[in-house]
Amino acid sequence: MVALILAANRQVNKACSIVDFLVKEALDWLENSIYKGVINYPFFSYYLHWFENICKEERFKKLMELV
């Protein structure tokens, strides 16, 4: 039983690490596109729900100030 709990904890830790990586990766792509001139405010405002997972990130808020 203890081994099962430890295995489950490892899986949760891996999942959290993957989510953290994906958030960073998404912000990197967004930042690169903004700095390359792909600044489309109507797109960002209309499709804001696409960015739901990263909206609370401080880095995302700073990028949206640039846009």
What 8-state DSSP symbol labels residue 57?
A: S
Over its C-alpha atoms, the chain yields an Rg (Å, rounded) of 17
Per-residue tokens: 19 = 């989510």
Q: For residue 52, what pLDDT is reported? A: 79
Q: Taking the chain (67 residues) in consecutive chunks of 10 residues, what is each chunk's mean pLDDT? A: 63 66 86 82 76 84 83
Q: For residue 11, what pLDDT is reported? A: 66
Spatial separation of the C-alpha atoms in residues 3 and 25, rounded to whole Å: 33
30: nearest Cα among 55, 12, 2: 55
Q: For residue 6, what pLDDT is reported? A: 58
Q: For residue 66, what pLDDT is reported? A: 79
- Check if the beta carbon of residue 67 is closer than 8 Å to that of residue 39: yes
